[in-house]
Every structure is written in structure tokens, then in C-alpha cells.
Amino acid sequence: MKREKPSKIVIASCCIMGAGQLLSKQWIKGLLYLFIFAAYVTYMVTSGMNDIKGFFTLGTVRGDAWLGIQGDDSIMMMLRGIFAFLLTAMFVALHISNVKDAKGLAKRLEVGKELPGFLQATQIFLDKKFYIVALLLPVIGVLIFNVLPIIFMILISFTNYGGDIVPPELVDWIGLGNFEKILSLTEIKDTFFRILSWNFVWAFLATAVNYFGGLGLALLLNKKCVKHKGFWRMFPILAYAVPGFITMLAFKFMFSYGGPINYYITMSGHSAIGFLDIDAGWTARIIGIAVNAWITIPTSMLLATGILSNMNTDLYEAASIDGASKWKQFIKITLPFVVFSTTPVLITNFIGNFNNFGVFYFLRGGLYNDGYFLASDTDLLINWLYNLSIDNNYYGIGAAISLIIFIITSVFSLLVYVRSDAYKKEDTYR
Amino acid sequence: MGKLKKMAVGVLCASMLLGCVGCGDSKETAGETIVLRILENDTAKKEGYLDALLEAFNAEYKDKGIQAVDANMDEYTDLAANGPYGYGPDVIYQANDKLMTYAEDKHILPIDVESLDCYSVTPEAAWEAFKINIDGTTYTCGIPVNIQEPMLFYRLDMMPEDWESNWDKDGNKVADFFENWNDLYAYSKYLRDTDTSANGDSQYGFMSSLNNLYLNGEFLFSYGAYVFGSNDDGTLNAADIGLSAGDAAKGLMAMKQMASLMNEGCIDDTIIMKRYEKLADGSYFCVVSTPDTYSLFIEKLALAYEAEGLSAKEAEEKAKENLMMIELPGKLPADGDLTKSSDAMTEDDWIDTVVMGGVNGYGISSYTKYKDACMEFVNFATSYEMIQTRMNTLGIAPTRSDVAEASGGVTDMIFESLSEGRIYLMPSIKAVDQIWVPAQSLMGDIAKDPYREAAGELGKYVTIGQLEEAIEKVDQDIYDAIFTLKD
Amino acid sequence: MSKKIDSVVTHMILIAVCLVFVFPILWLVLASFSKSGSIYDIDGFFPSEFSFNSYHKLFVDTAMYDYPNWLQNTLYVAFFSSLIGTVLVILTAYTISRFTFKSRKMLMKSTLVLSMFPSFMGMTAVYLMMVNFGLINQLWSLILIYAAGAPMGYLVQKGYFDTISNTIYEAARIDGASNFTIFVKVTLPLAKPMLVYTALTQFAWPWSDFILPNLLLKNKDLWTVAVGLTHLGETEFTRFAAGAVFIAVPIVALYFALSRFLVVGVSQGAVKE
């Protein structure tokens, strides 16, 4: 049987995907590569090239529905452009793998080894590289539905999209224009820092209240004198199970002037309290923290319960013998144990609270305070973003601000995460 | 690198390709019948008007091969987001401010309105709400159907027995407190003062959630305030914001006085939410609401009568007999002082009430494939018979003068108010989105002032000067919201 | 004696806490049984008269608000999202916990970072993408998105797999089992509480989300319960309450039936021995 020269195989694969494999009679593999190659080329010719071009121009024809001119949809073009880039990146990766594969084949042929059959090779791959197989689908899903929108949003922050510039108007790339605007406009700068500082206070407070609230509840339930633990645990779980938007709407009405709380206050002869009024300030903030606690404490209680059940009770006995008080035992033994074993969860909770959209959107939407640009004094950055980009349509600016927030939060949490015990000891635990 | 990964990626690429290829418009084959998707509002659906309309239209146009169906979408569907991709309705019924934001970006078509049957019988003011100036040419992009303005709802059986002797000084058979605001204030105060219930919360006069600009616009627009000024060519100028124009601060002072006779519910949405029940149980004498909520008031009032022992049918009849919907009192004091007795005031001390209102109407989506059929539909839907049916089923105030005249009563009065400029129409430009939150934040805060003072705190808006400053700040905030981020 | 006082105090606090948790829910439940059909005329927390009217209306008066249909849609979406999502999450968590490979740490860090993005900022992109694929007004486009996003929350599950000792796998490996066999025969049975926990959380999310369905489902007959409820008219509060209570019931029942797994799931996932 005549074999092709090894170098030829590699060159063939370099030019046309799968050609080398076909030359070395790896039919199935070769055809698969070839098919992908053909598919990609067809895609590029039919729409890919245009999409990439469109990504840079963001459209040249302004649509006019009255005249029947189907104009360019800039935003759609950007999206399709990103998509084309993604596909191209995947194609390049595949092409590299194809060349590597061809090199491998060539090497084997050179030393005269038999080439493995398709089925056999697949089986070996499935087992040896199980992680690739297993992660392929999740990674692709996340890429398309999470990463692509994020790339899209980041790119939007470099355009003038929003305000009057919405389809059918054409959107343009404006470089760092949005960021310059944020830094040069005092209203926006002031609002940004005001909200940022409250946002941090909120995130710390909310996380702490939820965390320790849950821990306290779990400790309480863990006491020896408490019988029927399942019964007591039922109530918080009830709160856990009701969909969040329902409880939030209910709470809003509960704290309004016409709600039951004010009803009882006025019944008892006091004047009604504007819990969520425009000048409510810290009252509204505290109510937000309480409502948030109501919603999240059940989860952290479950978490703490589980952790406490894993604790080594010997430590306590030893401490009791040493005569340490209950409080001291808690501070010295329980707390460190719980905190250290839950750092990643704490970070997730912190970020979750930092970006907690629902609470103040439901409780106190539709208010703007003095000294805030399109925001109220309880709004978190994420609420402000919503006001800017969804309610008021300033999408480009909103995207730019969210990019800034994103950088702050990700740097912060990555630092904490990488320094956490849970991460450091990650490889040594077993 | 192995094969399986490659294979999987290959399959994925192929499927994506298919997805891209298949994403072109899947054009419906028109076939014999043209199907029009009609978006109506929820009340029209609930009360059965939409069904009646579709049935009548489909019977009439069966031979011509046109069929109209319910668009089956949310009544506030955003045409700008859905229309371009083929997911919008063909004909859309919404308020003028909403429709005209679509028109700005040409999402709805300009209409040759003179060809419509309703053209000659609809007042110019209503058409005005749907006009837009693009590159120097004026187009009309919507067909007015009915007028929306805040109305006063009250129960006939709750009128004071002595109203003809004590509350109708001019003897014109209309109670004074429905004619001018000073008497409305006086009567509300009287009700409050004579409230003998334990908590003093069972007898209120005029009630309204004051944090709502649309429902309480009379406190601004009667006094010369406006939303946007005009350019020389008659188009609106979003840079000229005039909520503080004229004597707006005086109007706000009147509003503050009115707030002191309500309860804290006027600071937030409480009164809006409770108005149906509270009117039905008699604790509110009169409340502000829009005409399209008429059926909701009837529903709750009938329930209340039922609880008193009437049968369901009797209760509904009695509710219809007793529920009254009238326009807000026509005269406000020029100096903004409601506490003065109306006896001491001369003709010059009054100004006309100007409320904020809107015109709801039909628009035709630019993305419809059947423009002519849509025209047929809107022409049919705005015909005398259909508008009359609409009025009878939904209690709306039509913009067709012939229907309004024939029905007489309130409907005709609303119609007149529109023609005579006593309704300030919501401006039909996009920038109007920015006025609500700043204005309403302030109005709620002013409404809170009497309750601050009652609780022993210092009021924030005691003098006219303070109100002036506050409302000017609102203008500035709105300006900033519109222009700060513009290029 | 002091023990007794301690016990009394403990129970008093517990009762107070439970009241705090149960009260708002009780209020919603009672409102859903109120006769007047509105919560706004209830003075204080309790309605004066009770009836099943709201529930009756919920299921019979479907001309405007087709609740049974919403329920069906929700069930369909939640069930399949949960099924596919659970498989993807478990697979991801197991793989990242069990295998060491080049890009592993990078993957872990990037998921942490990715999860910090405000999701509504990407909604326009998701909408346009779905328009592009022709997936508007398709219930399974929701399933696709929910399931695809699920692996982002793999951290709890990974923590759980971290607690399973390596020796079990190694023993199986010596017996000649392939990685796939190990996953199916060894890992999955071990991870039963985690599976239940994951399935439950994956089920609960589509059950109560209304942003995404509101964006992708234009036709009213495709609405899910959450979307439908947020579109109820202002005077329909008891119908809202009834609808809310009704969709909470299956979730609550599931949580109780599976609360054993829940505790294990939530806690094991976070704990490192």
C-alpha cells in the first residue's frame, strides 16, 4: 500500500482542513474536518464576511419605514459581527487542532506505526479527555448565552447607542466618548460616588445581617432544649419557597400609607409613618435591609445548620473543661470554623447583595432624590443602571458605567477569592 | 486533540449555520384572506367590546377577504421593540404620547386622514395630538378615538341632604363644590370636621393620590404652567420646560391645602389603590380617576350594595344609578388660596381649570403588510356605530362630535373641554418620558408637608417662594435628564 | 433552673422569629381568600369575610387572565429547564472538582467574574439573538437560556464533590472503569442529595422569573405565571394573591418533601473538611 509523504499530509491539512487526514486514509475524521471547512467557508461567503464588515461600519443605510427603505439595524449588525468573530475563533481553534492532528499522523507514519481506527480513537479520547467532553456543552452554552451578551454590552459602551440614537438611527463607534462624559459631568460623577459608597455599605450590612441572622437562627435551633427542630425550621423554609417578586410586592404594600402596618399605627393614635417616602432616607434603607434579610436568612440558616452539624464537638467539650464561657466558645471556636469554611459562599453573597436589583426596585422605584442624577438615595448602582439604560434609554452610558462597576467588583472579589483559605487549600484538601 | 471534540464542534457550527440561514423572514403566505392583528386595551377586551368590534368587522369584510383578530399581546406592547422584527400588531390602540414616540422613528405610518369618515366630525384639537413635523412637513399618524382626562367620581346617594339649600348658593342645580375648588375645599373641610368616628378616618371629601402628575395636573396647568414650549414653526421645544411657568407655585400651594384635608394616603399610591372600595363604602366623598375605570367603580359599588342585601342585579342597577362621573370643578382661585370663602370672590378672582389629558387612538404599524386593509379597519372602527358601541360599553368620551352630541351629558362636556382648550394634552414627543418622575417626586413631597407640620416638624414648603424654588428645580432636573447625556 | 429559663427564652425567640416569617405569607394567603376581591379594603392584616371566589375566578374566569394556561407553560418550562440544567451543572461541578487540567483555574475564576455582570444589561443582546434565531414566542427558547446559564452556579455542587474522597474513584479506576462509567455508576448515586437540591433550585428559578419570559414571549397565551401575575390589573390584588399562593404551593410542598436533601445540599456544598 502506497503511503503519502508525511510532510505532504501536514501541508495538505494546513491548506484544506481534513485533506491530510483523507490522504492518510483517515476517512471519517477527514470527512468531518472537510465538512466543517466547507460549512465555514459557505457561511463566510454567504453572510460571515458581510457580518464582519457590518461590525466595523455598524450600518450605512438609514432605514425609513415610510419610504419602505429597510435600513441597517446597527445593533443587530454588531451582534452578528460578534457572532461571526466567535465562529471564526472556533474555526481557527479547530484548524489548529487539525494541523496538530495531521502532524501526529505524519509522525506515526514516519516511524511506520499503524494509525488507530476512528472508533478506537474516539473511545480513547472519550476516556482520557473526559473533562473536555463533559465541559464542552456547558462551556458553549455559557459562551453563547452569558459571554456573548457581556461582550456585546462591553462593546456597546464604546458606541453612542441610546438617547435619540435608537433604530432606525445608525449607531456609531465613539471610542472612549462615554467614559469621558462620565468623568467630565459632575452630576454623573457625584451620583456615581454617592451611590457607590451606599452600595458598599449596603452590601456589607446586608451580607452581615443575612449571614449572622442565619447563623444565629441555626444556633438557636441547634440547642439541645429545642425539640421538633423540623417544625421550627418549616417557617423560614416557607419564606424561602415563595417567589421573590411576590413577597417584594407584598412588602411594598405593607409599608405603604394604606398598608396594614400604618393602619395599626394610626389605630393606636399615632400619625402614619412614611416608611418609603422620598425623604425617608435611612428608614427606607433599613427596611430594605430587613426585607432582604427576610428573603435570604432562610438560605443562610440552612447553610449554617449543615455546617454546624459537621463540627467537631470534642472542641467544645475541651473548652467547657477549660471553663470557657458560651460566648467565648462561640467567638473562638464556632465563628472561625463557620467563616473559614464558607468564604466562597460569603463572596457570592456579597456580590449578590452588591448587585441586588429587586429589593429597591420593588420597594422604592420611581423616585428621584435631590443631588442624584436619575436615582434615589436608596438606589444601588444596579438600580441606577436600570434607570439610565432601560427607563431613560441611555444605553451606551449605562453600559460604560456597568463596565466600571464590573471592573471594581471583579477585582475586589477575585482578590478576596484568591486569598481565601478555601481557594488556597483547594488542591490539598483530599 | 481528539476527534470527539472536533465532531461536536462541527455539529455545533453546522447547527449555528442552519440557524443563521433559517433566520430570514418566514413570510406568511397571504393566501385568500388577509389577517390583521389588532391590539386593543385590556378594558375593551374585558368588557367584550373588542369581540363585538372584531365580529362586526369580520362580518362586513368577509367578502373582501379581510379578517381582523386579537393581537393577543400586552396592551402596552412596545411597537418600537417588536415591530421591526415582525412581532408587533398591525393596528395598535394606545395613548397619543405613546403613539407619537413611535411616529418620531416612523414605526407607525402617516395616514391620509381626510379619506376617513370620522375626519370631519373630529375636532382639530384631537387631530393635533397625532400630528408630527418631520423635515418641515406635517403628518398625521394616528386616528383619535377617545379623550382621557381625570374625572371626579362620586355617589349620588352620598350627596348631603341639604345640598340644594346650603351648597348651591347660585341656585343653578349644580352643587357649588362641583363648580369651584374653594367650595370643594370648604365641603371637604366640613366633612373632616364633622367626622365623629373613633379615629376620624371615615369621612373624607375630595381624595386623590397627589404624587400623580397626570391626575393632578390642574394644580399646574390651570396656572399657566406647560410641559414643553413651542418653536416658531409650532413644533415642541424640549429645551423649554415650563412646569414652573406662570403662577405654578400658587397652584401647588392650593394642592398643599387640599392635601391637608386628606390623609397620608395622598403622598403615595394608596388613594389610587383604595379609591374603588373607599368610594363604595362611603368614606371618600369623591375621588379622581380616569373614565376607563368607570366599570371598576361600578363593580365595587355593586358589591357594596349586595352586602347591604340587594340581589346582584338590583345592586348593579343601583350602582349605575348612583355612580356619577363628572369633570373636575371648573374654577380655581387665581391666588391659589382655597381657604377663602367663595362668597367673597368676584369673577376676576377665578381662573379656569385646565387638566392634563390625552387622546387615545389607533395607529397603523409601518411593518404591516396590508396597509390598505388596516385603513379599512380603522375607518370601520371609528365609524359612528362602533364609537357609539364603544362609548356605551366602556363609558369612554369619544372624540367624534356626532356621538358625543347624541349622548349629551358628561361625554359632551369632555368633548367641549377638549375643543375649548381646557385639557392640556400630553405632549407627543419622546422627551415627555423624562417629566414624570421628577415632577411626581416633588408633588408627593409637597403633599407630605401638611403631615410634617401636623407632626410638629417644620414644613418644607411654607411660602410661595419655597414652592417656586422647588418647581424651578424640577424644571432644571428634567432639563438635565434630557440634555446632560445628549451630545 | 437556669436551664429552664434558657429554654423558655429560646422558645420565645423562636416563636417571635417564626411569626416574623409566617406573617407576611399568612397575610397573602388570607388575602387570597378575602371576599371583596381586594386587599386594599382590608383594614389591618385580616379580611372581614372569606370566600373561595378568587380561586374560582382564577381557574374559571380565563377570558382575560388564562391562569391554567400560564400554569401549564410555567410547568413545562420549569420542568425541562430543571432537567437539562441539572445535568449540565452536575457535569460541570463534577468535572471541575475531579479533574485537573490546564485551564481549570482560569475557568473557575472567569465564572466568578462573569457572574458579576448585571444580567439585564445583556438582555438586549439576548433578545436580538433570539430574534435572529427566530426563537421569539417559543417556550423552549426559555428552556435553552435557563439551562445554558445553569452551569454558572456550579460552585455549591463542586464543593459537595470536593468532599467525596478520591480513594473511591481510584478504586473504581483500578477495576478498569472508564471515566464515564465512574460518573454514572459511582458519582451520581453518591450525589443524590445534591441532585435533588440542584433540580429543586433549577426548577424554582424559571418558576418565579419574569424578566426573561416577558422579553421573549409576546403572545399572551404563552405567558408564564410570573409574567401573567405582573400584568394583572390594579384592582385584581386578591387574584394576584390567589395566583401567587397557588404557584407557591407546589414549590413549598417540594421543599418540605425534600428538605432533608436541602440541608445536606446547601451545607455540604459549602463546607470543606
Q: Over 60: is that where the pLDDT of B18 sits?
A: no
In the predicted model, what is the mean pLDDT of chain C?
A: 81
The model's confidence at residue C36, banded by pLDDT at 50, 70 and 90, is low
Lowest-pLDDT choice from A156-160, B161-165, B236-240, C188-192: C188-192
Q: Over 60: is that where the pLDDT of B236 sits?
A: yes
Question: What does the pLDDT read at residue C272?
Answer: 41
The whole-angstrom distance between C60's CA and the closest CA on chain A is 22
Q: Over 60: is that where the pLDDT of B332 sits?
A: yes
Chain B: touching chains (3 or more CB pairs < 8 Å): A, C
A299 and A372 in one domain? yes
Helices (H), C115-231: 123-132, 139-149, 155-162, 166-174, 179-181, 188-190, 192-208, 211-216, 225-230
Question: What does the pLDDT read at residue B8?
Answer: 45
Share of chain A above pLDDT 70, in %: 94
Question: What does the pLDDT read at residue A203?
Answer: 92
Question: What does the pLDDT read at residue C1?
Answer: 65
Question: What does the pLDDT read at residue B216?
Answer: 93
Peptide bond into A236 cis (omega under 30): no
**Mean pLDDT value of segment B333-345:** 89
- Domain boundary, last residue among A120, A153, A175: A175
The predicted-structure confidence for A313-345, as pLDDT tens digits, reads as follows 666 677 777 777 777 877 777 777 777 767 777
A234 and A222 in one domain? yes
Lowest-pLDDT choice from A3-17, A59-73, A315-329, C22-36: A315-329
CA B29 → CA B32, B35, B376, C131, distances in Å? 9, 11, 21, 20
At residue C19, φ and ψ (nearest 5 deg) are -60, -45
| Best residue in B73, B74, B87 for a mutation probing chain C (most C CBs within 10 Å) | B74
- Domain boundary, last residue among A114, A144, A175: A175
Full residue range of the structural domain in which residue C139 is found: 57-270
Question: What does the pLDDT read at residue B11?
Answer: 46
Q: What CA–CA distance (Å, rounded) separates C106 from A56?
A: 30
A32 and A119 in one domain? yes
Asked if residue A171 lies in contact with residue A75, where contact means CB atoms within 8 angstroms, the answer is yes
A128 and A220 in one domain? no
Residues B40, B45, B51, B56: is their CA dihedral positive or negative?
negative
The predicted-structure confidence for B74-96, as pLDDT tens digits, reads as follows 888 888 888 888 888 999 999 99
A167 and A299 in one domain? no
Q: Over 90: is that where the pLDDT of C207 sits?
A: no
Q: Is A226 a domain residue?
A: yes
Q: Is A319 a domain residue?
A: yes
The predicted-structure confidence for B37-69, as pLDDT tens digits, reads as follows 999 988 888 888 999 999 999 999 988 889 999
**Mean pLDDT value of segment B402-430:** 85
Q: What CA–CA distance (Å, rounded) separates B49 from B40?
A: 9
Grid cell for residue A47: 453572510
Domain CATH for A269: 1.10.3720.10
Question: What does the pLDDT read at residue C37?
Answer: 62
Residue of B nearest to C61 (CA): B46
Contact A152 C27 (CB under 8 A): no
The answer to whether C162 contacts chain A (CB < 8 Å) is yes
In the predicted model, what is the mean pLDDT of chain B?
A: 86
Q: What CA–CA distance (Å, rounded) separates B349 from B328?
A: 18
The whole-angstrom distance between B73's CA and the closest CA on chain C is 5
Question: What does the pLDDT read at residue B74?
Answer: 86
**Mean pLDDT value of segment A279-297:** 90
The model's confidence at residue C142, banded by pLDDT at 50, 70 and 90, is very high
Asked if residue B423 lies in contact with residue B147, where contact means CB atoms within 8 angstroms, the answer is yes
Lowest-pLDDT choice from A182-196, A307-321, C179-193: A307-321
* Listed residue (B191, B193, B167, B192) closest to B180, CA to CA: B167
The answer to whether C181 contacts chain A (CB < 8 Å) is no
Lowest-pLDDT choice from A311-320, B305-314, C5-14, C172-181: A311-320
Homologous superfamily (CATH) of B151-356+433-483 is Periplasmic binding protein-like II (3.40.190.10)
For B34-148+357-425, CATH number out of 3.40.190.10, 3.30.559.10, 3.30.1340.10, 3.40.50.300 equals 3.40.190.10
- Domain boundary, last residue among A142, A175, A208: A175
Full residue range of the structural domain in which residue A146 is found: 6-175
Highest mean pLDDT among A9-23, A267-281, B108-122, C187-201: B108-122
**Mean pLDDT value of segment C122-135:** 86
Q: Which residues of chain A neighbour B487 with C-beta distances below 8 Å?
A: 160
Q: Over 50: is that where the pLDDT of B188 sits?
A: yes
Residue B111 CA to its chain's centroid (Å): 24
**Mean pLDDT value of segment A170-180:** 89
The model's confidence at residue A427, banded by pLDDT at 50, 70 and 90, is low
Domain CATH for C92: 1.10.3720.10
DSSP state of B141: -
| Chain C stretch 108-137, residues whose beta carbon is closer than 8 A to a beta carbon of chain A | 109, 111-118, 120-126, 128-129, 131-132
**Mean pLDDT value of segment B265-269:** 87
Question: What does the pLDDT read at residue B1?
Answer: 37
Contact A260 C132 (CB under 8 A): no
The predicted-structure confidence for A41-56, as pLDDT tens digits, reads as follows 999 999 889 999 999 9
Contact C3 A225 (CB under 8 A): yes
Split into its structural domains, chain A has a count of: 2
Grid cell for residue B279: 368610594
Question: What does the pLDDT read at residue B4?
Answer: 45
Chain C: touching chains (3 or more CB pairs < 8 Å): A, B
Residues 6+ apart with CB under 8 A from A212: none
Question: What does the pLDDT read at residue B468?
Answer: 93
Highest mean pLDDT among A337-341, A425-429, C242-246: C242-246
Grid cell for residue C132: 435572529
Lowest-pLDDT choice from B94-108, B323-337, B346-360, C152-166: C152-166
In the predicted model, what is the mean pLDDT of chain A?
A: 83
The answer to whether A131 contacts chain C (CB < 8 Å) is yes
**Mean pLDDT value of segment A213-238:** 82
